[in-house]
Amino acid sequence: MRQLIIIFIIFILTNCGNKSGSSKDTVPPFTVILYSGDEEVRKSEIRIYEESGKFYAENVSPYFYYGTQTDSVWKVELDQNKISTCNKFLNKAKSLPKRCPERSTSIEDYTIIVQKDTIKINGNCEWDNLDLFSLRKSLFNEKFTELDLKKTNLINGLNSKLIGKWYFKPLKLEPKRDDSLVLTKTNNLNSECSWEFGKDNYFKSSCNKIFDFTYSDTYGWRVDGNIFFEIQTGLITNKNGITSVGNSNALFTLDKLTDKELRLKFLWR
Question: Is the Cβ–Cβ distance between 253 and 178 less than 8 Å?
Answer: no
Q: How many CB atoms lie within 10 A of CB 120?
A: 12
115 has a pLDDT exceeding 90: no
Helix (H, G, I), strand (E, B) or coil at 17: helix
pLDDT given at position 242: 93
Q: In this structure, is residue 17 part of a structural domain?
A: no
**Residues 86-96: tens digit of each pLDDT:** 999 999 999 99
Residue 14 lies in a domain: no
Percent over 90 (pLDDT), the chain: 79
Q: What is the tens place of the pLDDT at every residue in 140-170? A: 999 999 999 999 999 999 999 999 999 999 9
* Per-residue pLDDT, 20: 37
What pLDDT is stored for residue 209 in this prediction?
87
The mean pLDDT of 6-18, rounded to a whole number, is 44
**Same domain? 150 vs 94:** yes
Cα separation of 132 and 33, whole Å? 8
**E strand or H helix that includes residue 161:** helix 141-162
Q: Are residues 178 and 256 in the same domain?
A: yes
Same domain, 148 and 168: no
Helix 132-139 with 141-162: angle, nearest 10 deg: 80
How many CB atoms sit inside 10 A of residue 9's CB? 10
Q: Can you tell me the mean pLDDT for 91-114?
A: 94
Question: Do 84 and 189 share a domain, yes or no?
Answer: no
For 164, the enclosing helix (H) or strand (E) is strand 164-167
Is residue 147 domain-shared with residue 87, that is, in the same domain? yes
Domain of 184, in residue numbers: 163-268
Q: With contact defined as beta carbons under 8 Å apart, do 199 and 184 qualify? A: no
Tell me: do 45 and 112 sit in the same domain: yes
Give the other-Cβ count within 10 Å of 43's Cβ: 13
In a domain, 176, yes or no: yes
> Mean per-residue pLDDT for 107-129?
95
Check whether the bond before 29 is cis (ω within 30° of 0): no
Beta bridge partners of 208: none
| 6 belongs to a structural domain | no
What is the rounded average pLDDT for all residues in the chain? 90
User: What's the average model confidence in pLDDT over 28-50?
Assistant: 95
Rounded distance between C-alpha atoms, residue 245 and residue 234, angstroms:
6
Final residue of a structural domain among 109, 127, 154: 154
**Pair (143, 188) in one structural domain:** no
What pLDDT does residue 71 have? 78
CB atoms within 10 A of CB 69: 12
Give the model's pLDDT for residue 64. Answer: 93
Whether the Cβ atoms of residue 35 and residue 42 lie closer than 8 Å to each other: yes
Same domain membership, residue 43 and residue 146: yes
- State the pLDDT confidence band at 3, using cuts at 50, 70 and 90: low
Last residue of a domain, one of 133, 154, 175: 154
pLDDT in tens, 134-146: 999 999 999 999 9
The predicted structure's pLDDT at residue 38: 87
The domain boundary residue, chosen from 89, 122, 154: 154
As for how many domains the chain has, the answer is: 2
Whether residue 43 is predicted with pLDDT greater than 60 in this model: the reply is yes
What's 201's DSSP letter?
Answer: G
- Kindly state whether residues 95 and 149 are assigned to the same domain: yes
Is 162 in contact with 257 (CB distance < 8 Å)?
A: yes
Q: What is the pLDDT of residues 176-199, one digit of tens each?
A: 999 999 999 999 888 999 999 999
